[in-house]
Amino acid sequence: MLQVAFIRENKEAVLKGLAKRNLKNAEELVEKTISADEIRRATQTELDAVLAESNKLSKDIGMLFKTGERQKAEILKQKTVQLKEKSKELTETLQNKATELQDLLYLIPNIPNEIVPGGTSEEDNVNIFEEGTIPVLHEGALPHWELAKKYDIIDFELGNKIAGAGFPVYKGKGAKLQRALINYFLDKNAAAGYDEVQVPHLVNEASGIATGQLPDKEGQMYHDAQDDLYLIPTAEVPVTNIFRDVILKESEFPICKTAYTPCFRREAGSYGAHVRGLNRLHQFDKVEIVRIEHPSKSYEALEGMVAHVKDILQELKMPYRILRLCGGDIGFTSALTYDFELFSTAQDRWLEISSVSNFENFQANRLKLRFKNSEGKSELAHTLNGSSLALPRVLAGLLENCQTPEGIKIPKVLVPYCGFDIIN
């Protein structure tokens, strides 16, 4: 979340940034936040004065008893009773106002970087890079859901029987190809300096709040009410929360982590032809990269992450493009996001396969993730994350773009991982 001091001191810049996001109630939210903060600070000042006076009187009472001036001491004791009652009222007011302020701050999204374009939807995202040759498929080429059935490598109906729509069963060479992609992505990330971690697939509410999934995306997360735990929508949540309530040394930067996890999303309201097959699932596999950076280095790190994902797609020899997301499409917590899209020839459409984002200190403020700077003062770190990569649509694009009359040819870089070069 944004720091309340930043909002107070940069009100116009905050409103300008929120306008880029098309946030309709931005001015109301900001005014309420500033007002709540003013009351909270005034209450804190009054409480501090009451406590200081109470402490002084306690010392005076002790001295009066020592000198035998009992009557004066009793008069002062009555006053301390009044001060204690006043401090109790002020403490309650302060707690209520602090909760109100926190709830308001949770509703305010991050301020987009100045290079984020204006816009209202994905139609206004800017294509900044495109690479790869879109293959010309043979007559009778099929979309991936038909290929999955033809070669018996993914069973959507069986998954529907076991769990419901959006939970496919990978079989035979399909399962091996899925595992090959996971291992390849992890190896590429490790070679680029990302330390692999295995993390829980469920998180508590504090973890969801810390990375911004809660309360913003509560309706999209699977929740176990009995234990009050949430199935993760991305490895970003548990990996980033490794650093919750941590104070780092400046020498520890950069911190680079990678993790493979299944991901779970309710995807409420998703329907239609665009969600067929692997295009949108409730459970899917993803390999994530997370970085904790010094604020002065985070945008350099972001460019490095973008270059890393490009390298993977170049090795897979997939046609892809990179979009800079506009203010109307950028995520709640992000200051700047680049989306990677792979072209699905059989579907004749672009499929999103990765988002690489810089959150600046937005998540770090919720995480209470700080570091000691060169002057010995505590400062918020910057957090970044990216998909490297999300598997369902990568697999969908691979199946469709690599199909031939003889079968689906596996990209050379994956052959050592899966042990075969064709699905036929």
CATH code of the domain in which 26 resides: 1.10.287.40
Are residues 86 and 230 both part of a single domain?
no
Are residues 336 and 413 both part of a single domain?
yes
Domain-located, residue 33? yes
Are residues 179 and 54 both part of a single domain?
no
Whether 258 has a binding-site annotation, put simply, is no
| Mean pLDDT lowest among 70-74, 165-169, 287-291 | 70-74
Are residues 100 and 139 both part of a single domain?
no
Residue 51 has pLDDT above 60, yes or no: yes
Residue 115 has pLDDT above 70, yes or no: yes
**Could you list the residue range(s) of the whole structural domain that residue 32 is in?**
4-107
Whether 352 has a binding-site annotation, put simply, is yes
pLDDT band at 56 (very low <50, low <70, confident <90, very high): confident
Provide the number of structural domains found in the chain: 2
Are residues 153 and 80 both part of a single domain?
no
Residue 269 has pLDDT above 60, yes or no: no
Domain-located, residue 117? no
| Mean pLDDT lowest among 23-27, 136-140, 216-220, 226-230 | 216-220
Whether 330 has a binding-site annotation, put simply, is no
Q: What's the whole-number mean pLDDT along residues 18-39? A: 96
- Which of 82, 107, 132 terminates a domain? The answer is 107
Whether 69 has a binding-site annotation, put simply, is no
Whether 266 has a binding-site annotation, put simply, is yes
pLDDT band at 319 (very low <50, low <70, confident <90, very high): very high
Whether 39 has a binding-site annotation, put simply, is no
pLDDT for the residue 377: 94
**Tokens (6 digits) for 17:** 């940034």
Are residues 304 and 395 both part of a single domain?
yes
Query: What is the rounded average pLDDT for all residues in the chain?
Result: 94
Are residues 321 and 370 both part of a single domain?
yes
pLDDT for the residue 6: 96
Are residues 181 and 47 both part of a single domain?
no
pLDDT for the residue 45: 96
Are residues 202 and 344 both part of a single domain?
yes
Residue 272 has pLDDT above 60, yes or no: no
Query: Whole-angstrom Cα distance, residue 185 to residue 312?
Result: 8
pTM of the full predicted structure? Answer: 0.92
pLDDT for the residue 384: 98
CB of 206 within 8 A of CB of 244?
yes
Domain-located, residue 337? yes
Whether 207 has a binding-site annotation, put simply, is no
Domain-located, residue 406? yes
pLDDT digits (tens, 9 = 90+) for 77-97: 788 888 889 999 999 999 999
Domain-located, residue 114? no
Residue 124 has pLDDT above 90, yes or no: yes
Whether 267 has a binding-site annotation, put simply, is yes
pLDDT for the residue 365: 97
Q: What's the whole-number mean pLDDT along residues 174-192? A: 98
Domain-located, residue 412? yes
Domain-located, residue 116? no
